[in-house]
Every structure is written in C-alpha cells, then in structure tokens.
Amino acid sequence: MSNFRRTMLFMPGDNPGMLQSAPILGADSVILDLEDAVSLTEKDSARILVTEAIKFLDYSGVELVVRINPLDTEFSLLDIDNISRVKPDALMIPKASIDDISEVDRKLTRIEEEQGFYIGTIKLIPIIETAFGLEKVYEIIMTSKRVEAVLLGGEDLTSDFEINRTKTGEEIFYARCRISAACRAAGVDAIDTPFTDINDMEGLIKDTLKAKSLGYKGKAVINPRQIDSIHKVFTPDSREIKYALRVLEARDEALGKGIGVFSMDGKMVDAPVISRAVRIIELAKLFNIIK
C-alpha cells in the first residue's frame, strides 16, 4: 500500500485483463469497480472475479480499493461480505450517507473479528455525489475512524443538482471547496473528481491544478494515460524544491541568529511559509526526488 493518493485509477471489475495489469500502470491507488463499470446482469460474476483477482494477483505495489455498489441496492451486502474477506485496503462507498458509513463500519468490524483481522484494517472512502452528501460531508467523515479519504463524484453530483457538468468546472467549485475544507478539518485526504476527456491533456492539467490549489491531495483517473500528467501536478518540481530548500536554509540561519521572522527575496518568511517548505521537502523525499 502506498502512502499517497495522487492518482486513483478506476478499473472495471469485470475485465480480467485490466484487473491483471491494474497494479503496474503507475497509479498510486487502483479502484476495482463493481458499480458503474459493471452492467446489472454481470454484478455477481464481477464480484467473484474481483474477489479471486485480489486473492491471486499481486497488488502489493498499490493501494487496493474496491468500489462496491450503493447500499440501497441488492448487491451491496454481498459485495461487502465477499470483498472484505480478501482484505482490500479500502472500500469505496458510492452516494455515501451517514447511515451508509455507519452500517458498513459495523459490518466490517464484525467480519474483521470473524476473520481475525486487526480491527479497522479495512478503510473507507466515501464518495460525495449527492446534494445531501455534500451538505453532511464533515459528519459523514466523522462517522467512522475508517474514513481516510473522500472522493468528489462530480458527474453524479451535477446530475443530482440537475445542472450541466463542464470541463472548466465552475458548477462544482462550491462542492470542491466544501469537501476540501471538511477533509482538512477532519484530517483526511480530499480526492478530486475525474476529468472525463481523455484526449485533452492540457484540460486535464488545468483541472488538476485547480483541484490542487483548493487543497486536494489527488485525483481520480479513468484512463492510464492521465496518470503521468496528474503525478506531475502533485509532485513538487525542481523549482519548488529549490525554493523550499532555500527557505529552510534561511530559517536555520535565522534560528542561529535568534531571529523568528525574516525576509527572503523581499518577501516575509513566517511560520506558514516555513511549514509549506517543510511539507514540500517531505514530499520530495517521499517521491525519491531528493534523498
């Protein structure tokens, strides 16, 4: 399991070839999808396929997430029951509500006890894609300690609002901000909605930069081609790293002289700037850009 979720790649749960190649396509997380990618008549075979794939294939290099069917469908119970026993890293819950998270948390605890797993092993990632979910997002997160991240589901959300979904995303601006703030308050990762035009790399980068600027830690991916561009956005580049190193150097120098606040390049450098620099260097080390 990786420590970061810059990219979360959706893979259809009914496609054996894709289940096999999912872990090597470069994404930080893979989401094996039992919901939208799978037709109603194939739900059971997809569930079996994903269960077997998790048992049999090596997903150790990625975070392994399974998107189950919504809790108001006939499929979700069997999804939870079967998939949790093969211990994915997390379950992704569509159209999540407080009751949904509560119920899944209880079920997972029971199954973990039965199976002898460490309680709390299987995490939860609710998808906020309804107006009600958006309104209650902080409470949804706080319902269970298992919640480690939240995904914004832009397509379904705009559908619930009966508004158009656009590339530039003004219509989801409020939702993005609200979810980001709630996640930050709760100490979990905010993951942005996928960019659906797989041929528009420039648009993808713009969209990802917007999400990053609002505090998102990563983005959902619907085609492996998108992975590299998104990683570039969420990975500190050499310019940022150089600047951060200079800030920390200047801080050490100032500390030595007993000065708390100082200036660099004509700009004031205080605690928030220093924390940001520390964070960038941490990330740079995590991604093996610097030692």
> Cα dihedral sign for 140, 141, 142, 148?
positive
Report the DSSP beta bridge partners of residue 31: 10, 65
Q: How many CB atoms lie within 10 A of CB 49?
A: 20
CB closer to other proteins out of 58 and 170: 58
Specify burial of residue 262 (Cβ count, 10 A radius: 0-12, 13-18, 19+): middle
User: What CA–CA distances, in Å, run from 115 to 52, 85, 198?
Assistant: 17, 7, 41
Which of 15/159 has CB closer to other proteins? 15
Contact window for other proteins (CB under 8 A) among 53-61, 161-169, 177-185, 236-244: 53-61
Coil, strand or helix at 150:
strand
To other proteins, the closest distance from the beta carbon of 257 in angstroms equals 39
Question: Does residue 235 touch other proteins according to CB under 8 A?
Answer: no
CA max distance for the chain: 71
**One residue of 1, 4, 15, 25 binding other proteins per CB under 8 A:** 25
In the complex, minimum distance from the CB of residue 221 to other proteins, in angstroms, rounded to a whole number: 11
Beta bridge partner(s), residue 263:
268
Our CB check for other proteins shows the closer of 30 and 183 to be 30
Return the range that interacts with other proteins (CB under 8 A); candidates 130-138, 207-215, 222-230, 269-277. Answer: 222-230
Q: Which residues, including other chains, have CB under 8 Å from residue 114's CB and lie 6 or more apart? A: none
Query: Is 12 an interacting residue with respect to other proteins (CB under 8 A)?
Result: no
Residue type, 139: E
Closest to other proteins by CB, 58 or 74: 58
Question: b/e map of 79-106 (b: 16 or more CB within 10 Å)?
Answer: bbebbbbbebbbbbbbbbbbebbebbbe
Report how many residues bind other proteins under the rule CB under 8 A.
12
* Smallest separation (angstroms) from other proteins to the CB of 245: 21
- Identify whether the C-beta of residue 82 lies closer than 8 Å to the C-beta of residue 46: no
Residue 21 binding other proteins, by CB under 8 A: yes
Tell me if 24 contacts other proteins by CB under 8 A.
Answer: yes
Q: How far is the CB of 197 from other proteins (least distance, A)?
A: 16
224 lies in the site for other proteins, by CB under 8 A: yes
- Rounded CA-CA distance 14/236 in Å is 36
Q: How far is the CB of 200 from other proteins (least distance, A)?
A: 16
Q: Which residue has the tokens 């939870």?
A: 80
Out of 48, 52, 56, 163, the only residue in the binding site for other proteins (CB under 8 A) is 56
Closest to other proteins by CB, 12 vs 70, is 12
For other proteins, the binding residues (CB under 8 A) are: 20-21, 24-26, 56-58, 223-225, 288
